[in-house]
Amino acid sequence: MSDNSFNYSLLPEDFMVSCVWSLPIHGRAALGGKISCATTIATSLKNTVVLLHGPIGCAFQRRINPCRGWNPIYDMPCTALTEAETVYGAYDRLLGALEEVYDKYKPELILVISSDVADQIGDYMDAVREETKVQCEVVVSSLVSCEQDSVMTKRGFGIIRNALITQLLENGDCEVQDEKAINIATLVQFPDEGQRNRELTSLIQNMGLHVNGSYFYNNSVDDIKRMPRALASIVHYASETWTEFLKKNYGMKYIELYPEPRYSSIEYGPYGFDGVDKLLMDIGKVYNIEGAAEEVAKRSRGKAEEALATHLPALKGKILSVVGSYTGGYAADLVRYCGMKCELLILRFRTGTNFDMLLNDEAKERTAEMWHEFCLKYYSDPEIMIEPTLEEELKALKRCRPDLVVPPALASASAWWYEKNGFKTLVPSRLSGYFFRIGYWAVVDAAIEARRALERPCSSKPLLAMADQDEEYGGLTKYWADRARVFRHIWYETT
């Protein structure tokens, strides 16, 4: 068994994702953005061209991809449906566009993504896969079932993956299964998913296994067709259409990162030292290598704990104000592994996304109870406030006088507010990949960032202090928050 020791240090490229959740459009402004978000997977594939099927400008596809602000999509091919075609059908238009795109780009795959207009007349769309003459693979993905209130598909990720895997693997051809191979299925596409998974890949290799592929990150058509070669896949949820398809047709096994019952405690999930231990043991059980998994977990955790110990003297006993939600994340790890004390807990569920509409009052109270139980377990007994106004929160902060404020990862834009009011703040954008990177060293990351925030001077005049922050949607200006409220009212509150 080889030892691919993972020596981790913070690199500049780790922080290139800071713009993802700070963009005040689509997800942050409560717009669905299913087409724009669906393209985050499409543009993660090699030699693939996306063909948008709909009128020019529909669903903002001609402006910018909000999930990849660094990657404009102005030149994306579009069938440019006319009003007449929305009435009488657009089969010939789509068939001709496929041939035109193939002749111009010669791709391995053309991925057809429909808009709402095309979905309403789209009963012909699957037929073009059989009748087109282009010499490449064609996958048709209709987003008509992309419900706004579905956690799995509200941004189009799930539907695109379902279409790609089920259509490219529908013939059932497969190489001989490799009993030492494993797939990693990613949930969110960042600039470098391979780098984000590098510690997990290292741990898997140390267990005597190898990664068959990371899906979807820089994959070719052949890479996708090789998915069934692996014995098992690491997935966020094993209840999607594509996971059930692979299980039924190829006997794929799954290691779920978020098994049922979900979010049952603040320590839930494959994060922190204990969470990674459990994940490695789950992998070991599937591959019948529990001994190797236990050895790798013990050795790797020991190295990370040794590195963490160098930062503990600067952190232990420091007072935190945690701004949390339904997950613990790095804030929880600062409490349970770094000995920091949470004395003020602010729970906010209005993030500017659709998720805030999924939690009723009972669920919010249960979340508060989970946080309270967690804090008591680690010798903290915080004052808990649920969705306070900014004025109420500021009064509580002045009573508590925390050494450090820890905002949630998805509220990078609010860190300046705490600094402006005289409270040192951990800047979450530097750790925004925490929820999507798995490994022991993620805990060390959080400790390094907390120590850095404690040791640097507090910025009393941050540039973002010039923004007029909304009181209901912290992190959004009033301009964008007004649009979030309008959309929320139209979508959820009108009959």
Tokens for 378, please give them. Answer: 């680690």
| pLDDT at residue 434, as a whole number | 59
**Claim to verify: residue 40 and residue 160 sit in the same structural domain:** yes
Tokens for 479, please give them. Answer: 């301009």
The answer to whether residues 234 and 184 touch, using CB atoms and an 8 Å cutoff, is: yes
* Size of the chain, expressed as the number of residues it contains: 495
Instruction: Indicate whether 7 belongs to any domain.
Output: no
**Claim to verify: residue 316 and residue 444 sit in the same structural domain:** yes
Residue type, 71: N
| pLDDT at residue 148, as a whole number | 42
Tell me how many domains the chain contains. 3
Instruction: Indicate whether 215 belongs to any domain.
Output: yes
| pLDDT at residue 130, as a whole number | 86
Mean pLDDT, the chain, integer:
80
- Among 25-39, 139-153, 161-175, name the most confident range: 161-175
pTM over 0.85: no
Give the residue, 33 or 298, on which the prediction is more confident: 298
Listed residues 275, 298, 321: the one ending a domain: 298
Tokens for 413, please give them. Answer: 């834009």
pLDDT per residue as tens digits for the range 467-481: 777 777 766 778 877
Q: Which of 128-137, 200-209, 297-306, 368-377 has the lowest mean pLDDT?
A: 128-137
Give the residue, 60 or 278, on which the prediction is more confident: 278
Mean pLDDT along residues 68-94: 75
Task: State yes or no: pLDDT of 151 exceeds 50.
Answer: no
The answer to whether residues 31 and 25 touch, using CB atoms and an 8 Å cutoff, is: yes
What are the φ and ψ backbone dihedral angles of 178, each rounded to 5 degrees?
-100, 115
What are the φ and ψ backbone dihedral angles of 469, each rounded to 5 degrees?
-70, 140
3-class SS of residue 346? strand
From start to end of 158-282, where are the E strands?
Answer: 178-185, 210-215, 230-235, 253-256
Mean pLDDT along residues 138-149: 66
pLDDT per residue as tens digits for the range 253-285: 999 998 888 778 899 889 899 999 999 999 999
Instruction: Indicate whether 488 belongs to any domain.
Output: no
Mean pLDDT along residues 209-229: 92
Instruction: Indicate whether 490 belongs to any domain.
Output: no
Instruction: Indicate whether 472 belongs to any domain.
Output: yes
Instruction: Indicate whether 10 belongs to any domain.
Output: no
Q: If you search the block for the tokens 């999607």, which residue do you land on?
A: 240
- Say how far apart CA 291 and CA 285 lie, in whole Å: 9
**Claim to verify: residue 314 and residue 373 sit in the same structural domain:** yes
Q: Which residues have a Cβ under 8 Å from the Cβ of 4 and sit 6 or more positions away?
A: 202, 205, 206
Cα torsion angle, 287, 289, 292, 295, sign: positive
CATH of the domain at 376: 3.40.50.1980
pLDDT per residue as tens digits for the range 313-339: 999 999 999 998 777 888 999 999 999
**Claim to verify: residue 291 and residue 430 sit in the same structural domain:** no
Listed residues 274, 298, 322: the one ending a domain: 298
**Claim to verify: residue 258 and residue 331 sit in the same structural domain:** no
**Claim to verify: residue 238 and residue 138 sit in the same structural domain:** no
**Claim to verify: residue 158 and residue 232 sit in the same structural domain:** no
State which residues form the domain around 237: 178-298
Instruction: Indicate whether 71 belongs to any domain.
Output: yes
Give me the DSSP letters along 141-181: E--TT--TT-TTTTTSHHHHHHHHHHHHTTT---PPPEEEE
Mean pLDDT along residues 106-118: 88
Mean pLDDT along residues 349-360: 55
Give the residue, 177 or 293, on which the prediction is more confident: 293
